[in-house]
Structure 1
């Protein structure tokens, strides 16, 4: 450091300073924290945990040690972060419901599927599992590179040898800066089968690999319901997702009763929270088909569901739960990992397997070279020993009489420095004849092993055959038993089960009340027409609509758009309710034309102010969008004036603001799904005043004061659509409306 460095100030733009520092943080997060290595499938904290436990000799056959001891070693030697985060990572590696193949065997309370936390690290103990031992195989045989730890006092591996397909078998999840990873667990035997295929057929496609490895295998089981095409695309691109459903069965009871028993739940769903969620949905009356839920779990999951009525289909009940609860969840696939050059990238299934196989090949070469070097060193020593046995007396004389026996031995017997040093360090008991025989036998075996290793290193095909043998061994080890057997059922995309929305809502009679100023509310039961209702000051009743909570309500506004409201979502109570514009998005300049309960098969006549209109089916008025759908097209300055039901009438009577009435057959009005409509009556000035649909044989009725009058002789007004008409009958209201 220069002498004048103290007090030195260097001006740097803030943007550059922030950019440099944030980039350094981002790279640290990506490379050293969040993304796993494709070769061993581990993040740095997991790798350091396993290596520290290896140093503590916590192999599967040894005793357990306190987790606090392990965490202390990891934090002090390798991982300069908090002990809580290290212990959390350690706990997860021991949970058989979190990882498919646990790398740590825990003793004590390591949490459960309900979401309960593990006991403190001072109470729990741990050691490595066979799987972790396989990942470490060859760690002391120069199989991988090491680097200095953060304080420079220790060495840690850059990657583990990885004699187990850990990345795919146990999966990974992490969030870095600007990128994330999410890899589901798979069955190790199936992964090895796919890897063997890739060794034998390097040009194998993803579809070929999926014949051996059909999809994820989650620790908690469940059923994967996804289209095969979607699975193939996900594994080919490295991005996608999988739908997981709980596995369930029907248990028959007495007298025709039945219950549903859930034995497996989706991965990473906490059982206690799942039950709380379903209970809350029942309280909110969003699961009207379900009567009760009980948790009868012990060592295995057992959640019992009781239906409200035994006539409901079990599949329909479960479909309603899949749609509303975490009994169906989606696990994302994002195979974003660090490749062999420590570069983050999204890899396909084929790329991941290829990278792991290449790593295994490199480990095999390095271990073979390390073993060959050890053999050559040992053979050199054994050659020196054999020279000793042939000239024991001379060797003893040199050692006893020479001041510097080592150079003399090297000169006399043409020994190397290593050989001479080994002879001088030899114990006297090794001079017995039996030891000479053992040395000759060892020399012969090592010579043969060295020859085999040289052959192996010189033939790539032999090396890949050796790797296939190793994969077959892993495959046979994890092909069955409680740990190896497949847990998740690979299903197909479920058939669409139509659930009437009414089935998901508790049926209850209500009365919807809409005020003139557009405030809407619902009251329980039937409200009498003369009931006293409270409104905001200056507001009054517009309409009362008796309906059920299971009904869909159709609202038509002056802008010609149709909106769908769910009766059960309308605010309840005796208050003012809420503005209808919060339920249906239409402008302040638009007004409500009508509101009615949807009835399948019903038809309505829509009429705009200039006298255009058409007939539309009630199903064409439904819309799932809050903004509704345009049904009647209105030009600037025009509005939808009225919508009247077509209740079996055969003629239409229309009155204009010019007090001209026209009657014509209803079949002259077209039935459309949307549009501008056709001209119903011709006007010189003004527009339509009122419309009525009736049966010609019964006559046309209208309200005149307190009396209802009926005109049966309508030949003077009968005509064709779009004609002008003539003055209405004597006694017709002056406002031009038919009345109630």
Structure 2
């Protein structure tokens, strides 16, 4: 009992967890996820290649069931799940994932669309020809060996890798605390760089990049960003852009199509096509008619057919930016170097591979030398025996048995034990003059071979010559043209709004209280234009059919201008209220929208006429009110108000202002003033303007652009409506008091609340009251009154409330 208790240790959880996690991390770093810098293989890949080679499953033999290879690997070398082994085997056969496939496979080995491979009982596999170069010289004591998991046989710790597999096929993996992303490269380019580095050990990264231009993905494509490649090759970490190879082709009917023939590395083709089609279906951009995957056994082809007369380059740029037609690839070149994970540069990789191959050739040479020397020793013994053949035969015949004969030969003629064994085993037919000649020739060949091997071991130049020769042979045999194009700069993707915004007519409503919405024409017509979703105390100030590419300018009575492209307005049902402007720009509680205009572009000409109730007026050029970058969060000040209580009463857009236009103002006490537009100077946005009217304790109710032959309609606080000709107010100068247009009463006199221009006698006017009531008027039902009349009572203020404004009624839109 005491002996058992003595084995219990008191350890803190921190120490136990730290120790166990460190062991686990080391295991998955070295034994699962990261490649060795020498052969570029993870343990499972190395075991697959070795087991298949050992089993004779090579390129020059027939295919065998994948299940046999997987079972062989799992049973002898890799005690993990068969699915992970099969997955690794399949990946090494996929020519869209590895630049030089190490496995050849018959059957379904997956696809670029992300389709899974067939089960391993259906597929057949064998090593590819180039995989033979990974295993060449493995039986010549060139690599170290360790016992497998159950100590029944040995497995190599690294493969000879007679070509630089780590760079050629790349690697990707995630382990504990480390991840690796090494892109594939061109075999010929990498070997050229190694050969140059062999002669110039101090070569710079820039010099090596003259040979290794950049990644060479098996899927082709275009890599942009030499600076990112250079940084990656210097530090092991860098970022480049990989884009598809595309071409815009013209087709019949003034149409065009984007033809995609190469896509970025490790992009799922089916998902890419689906994403492009979703953009078409959801109308994220206007102009895509159809998306087709026309890939076949001859190669990849995706066709994006466009509509007539569209910006094909703009659509292509949008697809580059918003789909996997263009992706960023981040180099993170981590590999196991001297048993430790390390982020390595291009030069470090090449040097490590070069040193590994030099060491490998030394080991192979030592093995060959020993073998040649052993054979030379035997051949020398045989030649000596044939020169004294009669004595040798006599000695053998006099011996009791084979062992005795061997011992007698060693004792009598000073043969070594090995030589004596070879002599005793010599067959009679070889005791001819011909055989002597062959032995002498073999001895000469062996002597030459031994001399050559010894030269390799003592002369580094000879060793490097042999290595260079073998690398050149591999390059000559397996070199392929580069598939990926390298471009120095990352292209700037400029996307026009005409591409990103669909060309669609919609209905837009802006209310006085600041509610804003757009609805489809279908939703609007379904509700017959009624039930607009506004509250009782609110009413529209703008209701129009506009295009999604139009621009909306909304002016508030506090001097703030709010800009919104129509396509950015929330698309809701016509019966919904919509969004409130304060959700984005922040309006004051008593701030109201007084005017809204829509424009086809922000490069319009013309001016805005702006007037305040405290008697200021100005003209502002359209270009002075164009929005800035922060329009989504902040309103733009278009009028600097003199006092906190002052407010803007009207904003009128003048597309083609002329100096002889007439401006008319009417004050609350009933004074009217008319003067030419020329008297108002053009000012900037953040200004107050000039004096419009001479006021004392009065204020301006409204300002209108009028003509001599028009009439205006006034509404008073007592509910009286008066129609009056503009000509009743003679034109004069700005900043005067004006003339009285009401008859003054001693008791409860009339006061002007608002006035408007009557453009059409049969077009109704609407009066809004403070009881949230609307009262419609038809101007042709009223006769023109004189300057000193107070009009006709049209509203019962006790029942409907006091009037607060009068304006032309926004009629229901007629949708064609």
Assess same fold via TM > 0.5.
yes
Residues 407-440 of structure 1 show CA distances to partners (whole Å, capped at 9, x for unaligned) of: 4433333333433444444445544443333232
Report the Cα distance in structure 1 between the residues aligned to 2:85 and 2:321, rounded to whole angstroms: 37
Is the 1:704–1:733 contact (alpha carbons within 8 Å) kept by the matching residues of 2? no
Corresponding position of 1:134: 133
* Residues 86-485 of structure 1: pairs in structure 2 closer than 5 A: 86-224=85-223, 226-251=224-249, 253-254=251-252, 258-299=256-297, 300-309=299-308, 311-339=309-337, 341-400=338-397, 401-402=399-400, 404-405=403-404, 406-479=406-479, 484-485=480-481
Greater C-alpha Rg:
2
Is the 1:34–1:175 contact (alpha carbons within 8 Å) kept by the matching residues of 2? yes
| Of 603-612 and 487-496, the range deviating more from structure 2 | 603-612
Corresponding position of 1:601: 603
Report the Cα distance in structure 2 between the residues aligned to 1:630 and 1:278, rounded to whole angstroms: 38
Report the Cα distance in structure 2 between the residues aligned to 1:540 and 1:101, rounded to whole angstroms: 71
Aligned length: 718
Report the Cα distance in structure 2 between the residues aligned to 1:389 and 1:425, rounded to whole angstroms: 13
| Of 696-705 and 543-552, the range deviating more from structure 2 | 696-705
SS at structure 2 position matched to 1:94: coil
Report the CA distance shift for 1:514/1:616 in structure 2 as closer, same or farther (over 3 A).
closer
Report the CA distance shift for 1:306/1:582 in structure 2 as closer, same or farther (over 3 A).
farther
Is the 1:649–1:694 contact (alpha carbons within 8 Å) kept by the matching residues of 2? no
Report the Cα distance in structure 1 between the residues aligned to 2:306 and 2:28, rounded to whole angstroms: 49
Is the 2:516–2:581 contact (alpha carbons within 8 Å) kept by the matching residues of 1? no
Is the 1:388–1:395 contact (alpha carbons within 8 Å) kept by the matching residues of 2? yes
Residues 649-679 of structure 1 show CA distances to partners (whole Å, capped at 9, x for unaligned) of: 69999999999999997657335xxxxx456
Report the Cα distance in structure 1 between the residues aligned to 2:197 and 2:668, rounded to whole angstroms: 82
SS at structure 1 position matched to 2:138: coil
Report the Cα distance in structure 2 between the residues aligned to 1:178 and 1:590, rounded to whole angstroms: 58
After TM superposition, give the deviation of residue 384 of structure 1 in Å: 2.6
Report the CA distance shift for 1:132/1:412 in structure 2 as closer, same or farther (over 3 A).
same
Report the Cα distance in structure 2 between the residues aligned to 1:700 and 1:308, rounded to whole angstroms: 49
**TM-score of the aligned structures, taking structure 2 as reference length:** 0.76
Report the Cα distance in structure 1 between the residues aligned to 2:459 and 2:698, rounded to whole angstroms: 95
The answer as to 2:750 corresponding to 1:717 is no
Report the Cα distance in structure 2 between the residues aligned to 1:30 and 1:660, rounded to whole angstroms: 90
Residues 391-421 of structure 1 show CA distances to partners (whole Å, capped at 9, x for unaligned) of: 3344444445256534443333333343344
Corresponding position of 1:524: 520
Corresponding position of 2:683: 669
Is the 2:170–2:181 contact (alpha carbons within 8 Å) kept by the matching residues of 1? yes
Residues 148-193 of structure 1 show CA distances to partners (whole Å, capped at 9, x for unaligned) of: 2222222222222221121222121112233321122221112222
Report the Cα distance in structure 1 between the residues aligned to 2:61 and 2:458, rounded to whole angstroms: 39
Is the 2:501–2:548 contact (alpha carbons within 8 Å) kept by the matching residues of 1? yes
Report the Cα distance in structure 2 between the residues aligned to 1:158 and 1:641, rounded to whole angstroms: 84
Report the Cα distance in structure 2 between the residues aligned to 1:335 and 1:695, rounded to whole angstroms: 72
Residues 715-737 of structure 1 show CA distances to partners (whole Å, capped at 9, x for unaligned) of: 3617xxxxxxx899766976699
**TM-score of the aligned structures, taking structure 1 as reference length:** 0.83
Report the Cα distance in structure 2 between the residues aligned to 1:295 and 1:194, rounded to whole angstroms: 39
Report the Cα distance in structure 1 between the residues aligned to 2:110 and 2:172, rounded to whole angstroms: 19
Is the 1:518–1:580 contact (alpha carbons within 8 Å) kept by the matching residues of 2? yes
After TM superposition, give the deviation of residue 504 of structure 1 in Å: 3.1
Corresponding position of 1:505: 501
Say what the alpha-carbon RMSD is for the aligned residues.
4.5
Report the Cα distance in structure 2 between the residues aligned to 1:155 and 1:434, rounded to whole angstroms: 43
Report the Cα distance in structure 2 between the residues aligned to 1:202 and 1:658, rounded to whole angstroms: 97
SS at structure 2 position matched to 1:177: coil
Report the CA distance shift for 1:23/1:559 in structure 2 as closer, same or farther (over 3 A).
farther
SS at structure 2 position matched to 1:240: strand
Report the Cα distance in structure 1 between the residues aligned to 2:411 and 2:668, rounded to whole angstroms: 132
Report the CA distance shift for 1:159/1:256 in structure 2 as closer, same or farther (over 3 A).
same
Is the 2:236–2:331 contact (alpha carbons within 8 Å) kept by the matching residues of 1? yes
Report the Cα distance in structure 2 between the residues aligned to 1:640 and 1:213, rounded to whole angstroms: 72
Report the Cα distance in structure 2 between the residues aligned to 1:437 and 1:689, rounded to whole angstroms: 131
SS at structure 2 position matched to 1:621: coil
Report the Cα distance in structure 2 between the residues aligned to 1:612 and 1:26, rounded to whole angstroms: 76
Corresponding position of 2:714: 704
* Residues 55-70 of structure 1: pairs in structure 2 closer than 5 A: 55-70=54-69
Report the Cα distance in structure 2 between the residues aligned to 1:215 and 1:640, rounded to whole angstroms: 67
Residues 178-237 of structure 1 show CA distances to partners (whole Å, capped at 9, x for unaligned) of: 33211222211122222222223333322222222222222122233x143343333333
Report the Cα distance in structure 1 between the residues aligned to 2:26 and 2:670, rounded to whole angstroms: 81
Report the CA distance shift for 1:175/1:494 in structure 2 as closer, same or farther (over 3 A).
closer
| Of 150-159 and 54-63, the range deviating more from structure 2 | 150-159
SS at structure 2 position matched to 1:212: coil
Report the CA distance shift for 1:260/1:410 in structure 2 as closer, same or farther (over 3 A).
same
Report the CA distance shift for 1:625/1:68 in structure 2 as closer, same or farther (over 3 A).
farther
